[in-house]
Amino acid sequence: MSHVHLSKADTTEVEEQYVLDALRSGWVAPLGPHVDAFEHEVAERAGVAHALALSSGTAALHLALLELGAGPGTAVVVPSMTFVASAMPVVYTGAEPVFVDSRLDGNVDPELLLHAIDTLLAGGTRVVAAMSVDLFGRCAEYDEIVPGLADRGIPLLDDAAEAFGAAYRGRPAGSQGAAAVFSFNGNKILTTSGGGMLVSDNGQLIDRARYLSTQARQPADHYEHTEVGFNYRLSNVLAALGRAQLSRFDAMLSRRRAIRARYVESLADLDGVRVIGHDSPGRGDDEDNCWLTCIELDPAGTATSPERVIADLAREDIEARRLWKPMHLQPVFGASRTFSTGIASRLFARGVALPSGSALTDDDIDRVVKVLRGALVAAR
Ligand SMILES: *Cc1c(COP(=O)(O)O)cnc(C)c1O
């Protein structure tokens, strides 16, 4: 029996051909024709005017935050239920991250987000941006977030690292807000092995970020620097890998969605388990990119725990993971201000991320379901 990964990179001969082309062309630096083309293709897919290819999603967030004015003496509001890479770049800038809790789909609670901003502003805190995270590939509730932030004059930064290819009421992930970020890390829905993209309709913001990403080099005939910059660009070889993935993206996306549908159907008759996001009112899975399918175990319906389910799966050579541990529970952010309802910690305590990679077969999914059903039934 083969090992079933959580979200393994799905690469084929198409990827080999593109990477070979980049190598043979001689463009192996962090610039070149594949970088330019990858930026255009991602911008088009995300429904934005401009894109900047970078070495990681974390780097993209860092530059976006700097452009939005994050720095010492300012605060950025960040969803607590996320991967740590949403919050770390806030600290790089010297700004204070302030955490906000989730709704049941794991995405930030829009009412609480706006309440947090109002409270911070009333207390004299300079809030320069609010971040949304499109968790596990599902867009946050933008109909509530966008007008509320506009009323308050606070720019939105969308951490769409997990959500490439998703949409919200017809608008692609990454097209909401002042700027958005994608990650192309090895475990994401589309990969460049490591890489990321900053996207925005604001050409000036992207131009400034491009300048900062190349050591803030001034346009002179020698090396002239008037500001502190970074070395954050994406390699042309890796951009080629990204373009190969893009050429296959529609199929990879449908496969992730088909895997979600198979889990939903196979678990429908079981008590004590819900598929996170799938069950949220008014929105099905259609616009979710289904990067990861995650479940919440309900103690009223089952006595088992995420630890036990993950151990049962591991015994059958299947990889599953806990959900992100909320930022306000992380020792590194222990002293941070938080607006909490307890939902994020509940999801952390009860959630399991199931194997969801597009290279998984139906038989792989059925193997996962069989172990899961066994674990839930045994713990009734
Ligand atoms: C993966 C991820 C990032 C960071 O992306 P890297 O490319 O790994 O730096 C940021 N935010 C979220 C929510 C992520 O899942």
What pLDDT, in 10s, does the model give residues 334-379? 889 999 999 999 999 999 999 999 999 999 999 999 999 999 888 7
Sequence length of the chain is 380
How close is the Cα of 84 to the center of ligand 1, in Å? 8
Residues 6+ apart with CB under 8 A from 88: 58
Please, which pLDDT band fits residue 45 given cuts at 50, 70 and 90?
very high
What's the mean pLDDT in 154-176?
Answer: 98
User: Rounded to the nearest whole angstrom, what is the distance from the C-alpha of residue 184 to the centroid of ligand 1?
Assistant: 8
Ligand 1: residue of 58, 63, 325 to mutate (most ligand atoms within 8 A of CB) is 58
Q: What is the pLDDT of residue 179?
A: 98
Paired tokens of 56: 């990681």
Q: What is the CB < 6 Å shell around ligand 1? A: 56-58, 82-83, 85-86, 133, 159, 161-162, 183, 185, 196
Q: What is the pLDDT of residues 210-253, one digit of tens each?
A: 999 999 999 999 999 999 999 999 999 999 999 999 999 999 99
Beta strands, E only, the chain: 50-54, 74-79, 96-100, 126-133, 156-159, 167-168, 171-172, 179-183, 196-200, 273-275, 293-297, 321-322, 338-339, 351-354
Q: Which CATH superfamily is domain 249-378 in?
A: Aspartate Aminotransferase, domain 1 (3.90.1150.10)
Whose CA is closest to atom 2 on ligand 1? Answer: 161
Q: Are 304 and 295 in contact (CB under 8 A)?
A: no
- Whole-angstrom distance, CA of residue 269 vs CA of residue 275: 12
- Residue 29: pLDDT band with limits 50, 70, 90: confident
Identical fold for domains 13-247 and 249-378, yes or no, is no
- According to DSSP, residue 80 is labeled S
Residue boundaries of the structural domains of the chain: 13-247, 249-378
Q: How high is the mean pLDDT of the chain?
A: 96
| CA atoms within a 13 Å half-sphere pointing along the CA-CB vector of 209 | 31
Instruction: Supply the residue whose CA is at minimum distance from atom 5 of ligand 1.
Output: 57
**Which atom of ligand 1 sits closest to the CA of residue 184?**
7
Q: How far apart are CA 139 and CA 282, in angstroms?
A: 13
Q: What is the mean pLDDT of residues 320-346?
A: 97
- Which ligand 1 atom minimizes the distance to the CA of 58? 9
Predicted local confidence at residue 129, as pLDDT: 98
Residue 126 pLDDT more than 80? yes
- Closest atom, ligand 1, to C-alpha of 196: 7
pLDDT score, position 182: 98
Q: Which CATH architecture has domain 13-247?
A: 3-Layer(aba) Sandwich (3.40)
* Whole-structure pTM value: 0.97
Q: What is d(CA 295, CA 255) in angstroms, rounded to the nearest whole number? A: 19
Q: Whose CA is nearest to atom 13 of ligand 1?
A: 83
Are 82 and 132 in contact, with CB atoms under 8 Å apart? no
> Tell me, what's the pLDDT at 284?
86
pLDDT score recorded for residue 379: 75
Establish whether 325 is a catalytic residue: no
Task: Examine the pLDDT at 1 and tell me if it is beyond 90.
Answer: no
